[in-house]
């Protein structure tokens, strides 16, 4: 059972375009994290969102946590080739014993 569904699975865009990727669940999470993973490497944490409705910005990346804490989105403005990678969302269980990961969105930004 996949607790977190990410969409789209694959996204190929031109440099300079904007994009949004989504992370949805029927479960409520105590917190939600976004990671970026490059081939052959482990995921690297980008942001943690905790409060329903919370919006966080990291340069050209904007992260939003849904009001009900079941879904999240990541918006990238003016994408660059360096943004290429696998974007994973992860929800924390109630006792924070584990993080459930989505299957990821593979982003390719063409120069």
Partner 1 sequence: NAGVMQNPRHLVRRRGQEARLRCSPMKGHSHVYWYRQLPEEGLKFMVYLQKENIIDESGMPKERFSAEFPKEGPSILRIQQVVRGDSAAYFCASSRTGTGFNEKLFFGSGTQLSVL
For position 92 contacting partner 1 by CB under 8 A, the verdict is yes
Among 36, 43, 72, 85, which residue sits at the site for partner 1 (rule: CB under 8 A)? 43
* Phi (first) and psi of residue 60, to 5 degrees: -90, 5
Please check whether residue 6 is in contact with residue 86, taking contact to mean a CB–CB distance below 8 angstroms: no
Residues 5-34 close enough to bind partner 1 by CB under 8 A? 6, 30-31, 33
Angle at 95 between CA 9 and CA 101, to 5 degrees: 10
* Interface contacts to partner 1, rule CB under 8 A: 4, 6, 30-31, 33, 40-45, 48, 50, 88, 90, 92, 95-104, 106
């Amino acid at each position: 059972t996949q607790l977190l569904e990410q969409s789209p699975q694959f996204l190929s865009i031109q440099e300079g375009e904007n994009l949004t990727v989504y992370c949805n669940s029927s479960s409520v999470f105590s917190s939600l994290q976004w990671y970026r993973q490059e081939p052959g490497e482990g995921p690297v944490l980008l942001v943690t969102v905790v409060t329903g409705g919370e919006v966080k910005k990291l340069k050209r990346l904007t992260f939003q946590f849904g009001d009900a804490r079941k879904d999240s989105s990541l918006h990238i403005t003016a994408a660059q080739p360096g943004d290429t990678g696998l974007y994973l969302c992860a929800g924390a269980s109630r006792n924070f014993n584990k993080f459930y990961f989505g299957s990821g969105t593979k982003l390719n930004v063409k120069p």
